[in-house]
Structure 1
Amino acid sequence: MSIKEINVSQPWFDYIKLGKKTIEGRLNKGMFSQLKKDDIIKFVNKDEHVIVRVEKIQYYDSFFQYLTLEGLERTLPDVYTIEEGINIYYKYYTKEQEKEYRILAISIELVDD
């Protein structure tokens, strides 16, 4: 088991902390490609953090597939259309990166700090 520290922006950090966002989407590259079930993630935003455990990892070919199959409620709370969700991810990643690396759906569970 390893512990990874990952920065996450608002409002997504608060949704994770509240237990509303239970799936984190990232590209399958770098340290994310090495995540495994039961790894511990320390999500950080400024001077706050929240600790979660990886329950499961799924792989998807596109943000469309990821958001459609995992559902907006668990991936991007308070986002109401798949198109809006895809556009949020394209603020962080390019279409070329999406095709090259694929998408990780990281199912997470809050753990006591």
Structure 2
Amino acid sequence: MQHTLELYDVPFYSIKSGRKTIEVRLNDQKMRSIQPNDILTFVYQKETIITTVVELLPYDSFLDLYQTIPFVEMDCENWTMHEMLAATYKFYTKSEEEKWGAVAIRITTAL
């Protein structure tokens, strides 16, 4: 199955360069429909990147996810835990996190 997800410029180009191999999202209904081997098309403005889902790693919270997944896999190796959480909560509320949890989506790009 194919899915389309929008990104901002920095994460888009991190995926495009191959430095980012984990996309972090709220584990909501849309993300729960994604399965390993599905195709994810990431979009930034008019550019796209086609990726394949390698695995999905669900967590109860973003904190649990960030304590488990090395930041380098998200192209954030020099970030602190505080910075990771602050950036995440710009997009998702604590209420949404409590309801849905978080998911790390391991991807690979077709080179």
Counterpart of 1:91 in structure 2 is: 90
Structure 1 regions of 5+ residues with no counterpart?
A: none
Counterpart of 2:55 in structure 1 is: 56
What does residue range 1-80 of structure 1 map to in structure 2 within 5 Å? 2-77=1-76, 79-80=78-79
Deviations 1:4-25 (A, max 9, x none): 1110112100001111110011
Please tell me the residue identity of whatever aligns with 2:43.
Answer: V
Alpha-carbon offset, residue 77 of structure 1: 2.5
Residue-pair matches, total = 111
Alpha-carbon offset, residue 102 of structure 1: 0.5
8 Å contact from structure 1 (residues 62, 98) kept in 2: yes
Please tell me the residue identity of whatever aligns with 2:97.
Answer: E
Structure 2 regions of 5+ residues with no counterpart?
A: none
What SS class does the counterpart of residue 9 from structure 2 fall into? coil
Q: Residue 90 and residue 79 in structure 1: after superposition, are their counterparts in 2 closer, same or farther (change >3 A)?
A: farther
TM-score after normalising by structure 2:
0.94
Please tell me the residue identity of whatever aligns with 2:47.
Answer: E
Structure 1 stretches of at least 4 aligned residues deviating more than 6 Å after TM superposition:
none
Q: Residue 79 and residue 34 in structure 1: after superposition, are their counterparts in 2 closer, same or farther (change >3 A)?
A: farther
Please tell me the residue identity of whatever aligns with 2:53.
Answer: V
Q: Residue 79 and residue 46 in structure 1: after superposition, are their counterparts in 2 closer, same or farther (change >3 A)?
A: farther
TM-score after normalising by structure 1:
0.93
What SS class does the counterpart of residue 73 from structure 1 fall into? helix
What SS class does the counterpart of residue 32 from structure 1 fall into? helix
Instruction: Provide the alpha-carbon RMSD of the alignment.
Output: 1.2
Please tell me the residue identity of whatever aligns with 1:62.
Answer: S
